[in-house]
Amino acid sequence: MHRYRSHTCGALRESDIDQTVRLSGWVHRVRDHGGVLFVDLRDHYGITQCVADPDSPAFAEVEKFRSEWVVRIDGKVRRRPEGTDNPELPTGMVEIYIKEIEVLGPAAELPLPVFGEQEYPEDIRLKYRFLDLRREKLHQNIMTRGAVVDSMRKRMKEQGFFEFQTPILTASSPEGARDFLVPSRIHPGKFYALPQAPQQYKQLLMMSGFDRYFQIAPCFRDEDPRADRLPGEFYQLDVEMSFVTQDDVFAAMEPVITGVFEDFAKGKPVTKNWPRIPFAEAVRKYGSDKPDLRNKIVMQEVSEHFRGSGFKVFARMLEDPKNQVWAIPGTGGGSRAFCDRMNSWAQGEGQPGLGYIMWREGGEGAGPLANNIGPERTAAIRDQLGLKESDAAFFVAGDPEKFWKFAGLARTKLGEELNLIDKDRFELAWIVDFPMYEYDEENKKVDFSHNPFSMPQGGLDALKSQDPLTIKAFQYDIACNGYEIASGGIRNHKPEAMVKAFEIAGYGEQEVIDRFGGMYRAFQYGAPPHGGMAAGLDRIVMLLCGTNNLREISLFPMNQQAMDLLMGAPSEATPKQLKELHIKTNLPAKS
């Protein structure tokens, strides 16, 4: 018999009854039932119940077992007594009568429990991540992550893509976040950067004649922590294709992403034919460029009903042509208590409040706004929004450029409070026609709105003749359940158009050559039209595992302060290391 096991802890079935077997694993828990000891033995594959009674030669040793000891158990497989079987476990029809044991690795007192899924402080969980990963739910999440990667790879290869690995040590690039810099010992005073994304390399692969590229790519960004991105590093399904239009990218990637979701949705519906929603429409209807389409609330402009009305606050605002009034319908929200609660929530978000109208029995409007604008206008709003008695509408007003994000938050809040979100489905959509540029208020300049390497709609002519803030890009995102899970674009592959695009954002031609010399040179020697995208692996797995915390689907994540509590990173370098790298530290003064 093998030194440690003849079977795993998930393998035994009724067909194994009367066999003598050997298992090794962790003591999940020990139960004493009237002098009979039951040991749940756990390994990567499952749990097997093992039994020792006072007649067992190993009984005295089993009494010493503690949680998370690693032990070897020899014994005979038998059927569980009638009424004690556990259909929830694959091994739930059998148990092992213990004949011999060996303690392979005793465990000290645990800093956090492994049995059960109770909440525990995150810093403790991260410091003892090797224990945390033994917990059933987290262990399963990590296995799901690996299976999702396998599914992605299989589907990409079926679509004719080839997997490549691009460099990790590269040059600094303005991808929109800070680089992690790596000092060069061989070239004093110079630094490599860890890639924020393989953007330039995957485009260079297209210049090199490789037609369809993909990679499960690690990306590194020195960003402040965000709820939907792990600090430090994350992984993405990175994709690029030659000789394609935007429609070709959609046709190739939509079945891949849909298929991955279907593989792991556990029966939940997944969008079959994805809608394509222009950025401006997404903002207008949902107050978000990554709308949660499970929430059926659609906002509408109702400016005309307030123009010249008795509600002077909105009427005066509407004298400025750029201002509008938007309505957020709230089906079932027509009670004073609920409307007041929403108003208080808005004030907590830093807003002056959230105006509302509620419709009572007979369809009569009520509330301060209704009283000010009168029954005819109130009825017109109700009819436009398709509302009825016991419903309400909430209103935001001003410059939509400044309030649309708050309107989106209000829509989400209403959907949650009124149970208007179907949480048992995955709603996918393309968000298209992003603006090429935006105005940076802080630096008082035009800057790229999204990926600087995207092709402007209209090409070089648009860059030369249009107001930059009106130019749309061949840029697209994938939204799922309120998250952006992918972003991509058709690339600007013509040197003169690339230079012009960067000039509008304040970069001179020489600066473009200095910063993107490799790609700029490549464009001079026959550049194919190309495009692609990158899908966030971490966010996709997070959605499929039904959690909203990325740390629940990552092996060894950092905490919110970008610290690895398990390995003690970041740590100080030794004087010898700094000397070899020709680096001196200049730390801020301690307060």
- What count of other Cβ atoms lies within 10 Å of the Cβ of residue 1? 9
CA angle 286, 287, 291 (to 5 degrees): 50
Q: How far apart are the C-alpha atoms of 394 and 329, rounded to whole Å?
A: 6
Report how far Cα 394 is from the mean position of its chain's Cα atoms: 30
For the chain, residues with pLDDT lower than 50 are: none
Do 14-105 and 120-270+528-591 have matching folds? no
Closest CA to 406 of 334, 339, 353: 353
pTM over 0.75: yes
H helix or E strand, kind and range, residue 513:
helix 509-515
194 φ, ψ to 5°?
Answer: -80, 140
Position 175 scores a pLDDT of 54
What amino acid is encoded at 529 in this protein?
P
Instruction: Give burial (CB, 10 Å; 0-12/13-18/19+) of 82.
Output: exposed
- What count of other Cβ atoms lies within 10 Å of the Cβ of residue 535? 24
Count the alpha carbons within 13 Å of 31 in the hemisphere toward its beta carbon. 9
Q: How far apart are the C-alpha atoms of 243 and 131, rounded to whole Å?
A: 49
Position 174 scores a pLDDT of 59
What would the DSSP string read from start to end of 458-511? THHHHHHHS-GGG-BBSEEEEEETTEEEEEEEEB---HHHHHHHHHHTT--HHH
Instruction: Give burial (CB, 10 Å; 0-12/13-18/19+) of 240.
Output: buried
Residues 6+ apart with CB under 8 A from 27: 39, 40, 41, 42, 65, 66, 67, 68, 69, 70, 71
- Our CA dihedral for 340, 344, 350, 354, rounded to 10 degrees, sits at -10
- Residue pair 541/144 in contact (Cβ under 8 Å)? The answer is yes
Q: How far apart are the C-alpha atoms of 531 and 253, rounded to whole Å?
A: 12
Instruction: Give burial (CB, 10 Å; 0-12/13-18/19+) of 360.
Output: middle
Position 246 scores a pLDDT of 97
Q: How far apart are the C-alpha atoms of 372 and 325, rounded to whole Å?
A: 15
Domain boundaries, the chain: 14-105, 120-270+528-591, 295-417
- Lookup: tokens for 253: 């990637």
Q: What is the dotted CATH code of the domain comprising 295-417?
A: 3.30.1360.30
Q: How far apart are the C-alpha atoms of 239 and 161, rounded to whole Å?
A: 9
- Specify the CATH architecture of the domain 14-105: Beta Barrel (2.40)
175 φ, ψ to 5°?
Answer: -85, -5
- Residue pair 105/64 in contact (Cβ under 8 Å)? The answer is no
- Specify the CATH architecture of the domain 120-270+528-591: 2-Layer Sandwich (3.30)
C-alpha distance across the termini of the chain, in Å: 65
Residue 329 β-bridge partners = 393
Closest CA to 231 of 558, 461, 564, 12: 558
Report pLDDT digits (tens) over 17-74.
Answer: 999 999 999 999 999 998 899 999 999 999 999 999 999 999 999 999 999 999 999 9
Report pLDDT digits (tens) over 474-490.
Answer: 999 999 999 999 999 99
